[in-house]
């Protein structure tokens, strides 16, 4: 069992050290370059407080581990929507400076140079990124050591035989809290781990789904303190039924035009691309790995539980009259919507100037029997891989581990502070909820193989919630299961070929 280390206290300490800057979450485009992008000495920061030392887990990397004079080359997708890999200088912005200091510490501790090379690789540029990785593997001495690709490219790179089994490197300790627990329980393929993410990826944290709520509207409507809803969450009672109880009856024709419009009051705002959060939040996955190491269709996908979730969410969004499903967060930020389902990045990107105070909650559970809150990841985050042609594979493995550790210590708290500091009142509650959200991240292997599955890993559920009811969803089981099994057969044959 992974030792769960909460860093709530440390986050609250660090919020006093860093300033807020919402612009850090805006998309950053880096031009492709073949020149080394190195970092200078880390900026001086205050020494760790006792609270920080007790809240953070310890690194497993020996202090005397050195690789003097070596260069580790990293190929990354430069159309990533958030700052993640390197920045040129420190500028006083919390996430920017945390990235700068992380890289400087890695270089200083190991005595190495980090050479970051960018190339397009987002959803529309997956094939190009994979081809660049393939060309690198064939280039010999000029090969990249680490691939840092958009989440959907990890499986493609693995199936090309271009990524190593990271589980074979002792230095990569996946029991540490900077790696998500589901990485080993859900994403181990044929006994191997070929791509990893977690605190090492700023985008991983930005892409976590959560439920933000308007605290001012909550107190106005319920006549209760926000501590009431936080206690529901802390007691494990934040379920779909409880969520619907709060949204029910929230609609009000504020603009008086006698028709639902963006000027009215709603209980929930969410758009189609974010429907996935309800499926994962109910502790379900789409594809699993069986006892023989093969990828198979999860029993969750067309279970009675899944049918119930489709029915519940469909009615909430389409029949209740309490949901706005066109503008999502843009509707929420106007101040007349109680809840919004969105990614963490939306907080700093869209809500920094919102005319109200907001808080965060996890995505609701299926029911109170569900052990913990589960968090879906939106796709634009990074998978880290070691190239099979890496010139410095052992150094690359150590670099990934140290980057992940330093990110966990500094970037994760900075990101929370940046997203939330200026707009929330109950720091301890929101910080603790952030822990729940982060610890509950689910790495659904079906979502990692989305490209090979022709997007069925998400489109089946989304389509049912948008266009049909539960009966319609259940009736598609045979057709979709047959289709998925056919595609999984091809994937499993490719995986088997890699091990032969």
CA-wise closest residue to 131 among 151, 152, 166, 160: 160
pTM over 0.85: yes
Largest CA distance in the chain: 72
Q: Report pLDDT digits (tens) over 426-477.
A: 567 888 898 899 999 999 999 999 999 999 999 999 999 988 765 678 888 9
pLDDT band at 400; cut points 50, 70, 90:
very high
Report, as an integer, the average pLDDT of 231-259: 94
pLDDT band at 194; cut points 50, 70, 90:
very high
Q: Report pLDDT digits (tens) over 343-374.
A: 998 887 888 788 899 999 999 999 999 999 99
Tokens encoding 185: 């329980």
pLDDT band at 252; cut points 50, 70, 90:
very high
Q: Are 390 and 143 in contact (CB under 8 A)?
A: yes
Give the pLDDT score at 188: 86
Q: Rounded CA gap, 291 and 289, in Å?
A: 7
Give the pLDDT score at 471: 67
Neighbour count for residue 92 (Cβ, 10 Å): 10
Residue 347 phi/psi, 5-degree rounding, is: -65, -50
Checking if the pLDDT of 40 tops 70, the result is no
Neighbour count for residue 256 (Cβ, 10 Å): 9
**Side-chain-facing half-sphere of 174: CA atoms under 13 Å:** 20
Q: Please report how the helices 427-439 and 226-234 are oriented relative to each other, as an axis angle in degrees rounded to 10.
A: 30
Neighbour count for residue 54 (Cβ, 10 Å): 12
Domains annotated on the chain, with CATH: 8-206+380-423 (3.40.190.10), 209-376+441-498 (3.40.190.10)
Q: Report pLDDT digits (tens) over 307-316.
A: 999 999 999 9
Q: Report pLDDT digits (tens) over 260-288.
A: 888 899 999 999 999 999 999 999 999 99
Report, as an integer, the average pLDDT of 16-29: 33
Neighbour count for residue 65 (Cβ, 10 Å): 13
Report, as an integer, the average pLDDT of 368-394: 96
CA-wise closest residue to 481 among 279, 296, 314: 296
Q: Are 392 and 113 in contact (CB under 8 A)?
A: no
Give the pLDDT score at 421: 53
Residue 169 phi/psi, 5-degree rounding, is: -100, 115
More confident residue, 292 or 113: 113
Helix (H, G, I), strand (E, B) or coil at 410: helix
Give the pLDDT score at 19: 33
Give the pLDDT score at 470: 57
**Mean of all residue pLDDT scores within the chain:** 86
The answer to whether the Cα torsion of 375, 381, 384, 387 is positive or negative is: positive
Give the pLDDT score at 5: 44
Residue percentage of the chain with pLDDT more than 70: 86
Burial of 426 (0-12, 13-18, 19+ CB in 10 A): middle
Q: Are 21 and 63 in contact (CB under 8 A)?
A: no
What is the pairing mode between strands 209-214 and 337-343?
antiparallel
The answer to whether the Cα torsion of 53, 56, 61, 66 is positive or negative is: negative
Helix ranges (H only) for 235-275 are 240-247
Q: Rounded CA gap, 162 and 169, in Å?
A: 16
What is the pairing mode between strands 266-269 and 209-214?
unpaired
Q: Are 378 and 151 in contact (CB under 8 A)?
A: no
């Amino acid at each position: 069992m992974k030792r769960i280390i909460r860093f709530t206290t440390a986050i609250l300490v660090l919020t006093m050290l860093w300033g807020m800057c919402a612009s850090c979450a805006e998309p950053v485009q880096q031009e492709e370059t073949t020149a080394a992008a190195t970092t200078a000495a880390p900026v001086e920061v205050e020494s760790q407080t006792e609270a920080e030392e007790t809240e953070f887990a310890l690194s497993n990397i020996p202090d005397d581990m050195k690789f003097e004079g070596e260069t580790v080359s990293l190929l990354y997708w430069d159309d990533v929507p958030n700052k993640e890999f390197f920045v040129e200088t420190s500028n006083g912005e919390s996430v920017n400076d945390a990235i700068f200091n992380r890289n400087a510490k890695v270089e200083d501790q190991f005595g190495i140079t980090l050479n970051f090379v960018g190339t397009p690789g987002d959803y529309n540029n997956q094939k190009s990124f994979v081809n660049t990785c393939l060309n690198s593997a064939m280039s010999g001495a000029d090969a990249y050591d680490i691939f840092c690709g958009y989440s959907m490219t990890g499986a493609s790179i693995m199936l090309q035989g271009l990524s190593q089994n990271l589980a074979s490197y002792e230095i990569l300790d996946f029991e540490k809290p900077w790696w998500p627990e589901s990485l080993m329980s859900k994403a181990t393929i044929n006994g191997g781990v070929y791509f990893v993410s977690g605190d090492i990826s700023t985008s991983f944290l930005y892409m976590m789904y959560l439920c933000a709520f308007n605290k001012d509207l909550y107190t106005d409507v319920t006549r209760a303190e926000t501590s009431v809803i936080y206690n529901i969450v802390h007691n494990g009672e934040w379920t779909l039924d409880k969520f619907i109880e709060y949204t029910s009856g929230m609609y009000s024709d504020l603009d008086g035009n006698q028709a639902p419009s963006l000027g009215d009051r709603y209980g929930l705002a969410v758009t189609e691309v974010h429907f996935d959060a309800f499926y994962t939040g109910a502790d379900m996955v789409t594809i699993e790995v069986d006892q023989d190491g093969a990828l198979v269709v999860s029993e969750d996908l067309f279970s009675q539980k899944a049918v119930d979730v489709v029915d519940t969410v469909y009615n909430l969004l389409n029949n209740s009259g309490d949901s706005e499903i066109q503008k999502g967060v843009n509707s929420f930020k106007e101040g007349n919507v109680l809840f919004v389902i969105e990614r963490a990045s939306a907080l700093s990107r869209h809500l920094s100037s919102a005319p109200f105070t907001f808080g965060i909650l996890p995505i609701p559970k299926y029911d109170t029997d569900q052990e913990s809150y589960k968090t879906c990841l939106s796709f634009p985050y990074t998978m880290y891989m070691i190239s099979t042609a890496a010139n410095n594979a052992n150094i690359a493995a150590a670099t990934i581990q140290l980057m992940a550790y330093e990110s966990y210590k500094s970037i994760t708290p900075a990101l929370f502070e940046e997203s939330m500091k200026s707009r929330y009142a109950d720091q301890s509650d929101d910080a603790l909820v952030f822990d729940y959200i982060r610890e509950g991240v689910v790495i659904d292997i079906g979502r990692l193989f989305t490209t090979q599955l022709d997007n069925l890993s998400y489109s089946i559920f989304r389509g049912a919630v948008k266009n049909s009811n539960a009966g319609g969803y259940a009736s598609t089981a045979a057709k979709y299961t047959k289709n998925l099994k056919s595609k999984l057969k091809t994937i499993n044959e490719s995986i088997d070929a890699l091990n032969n």
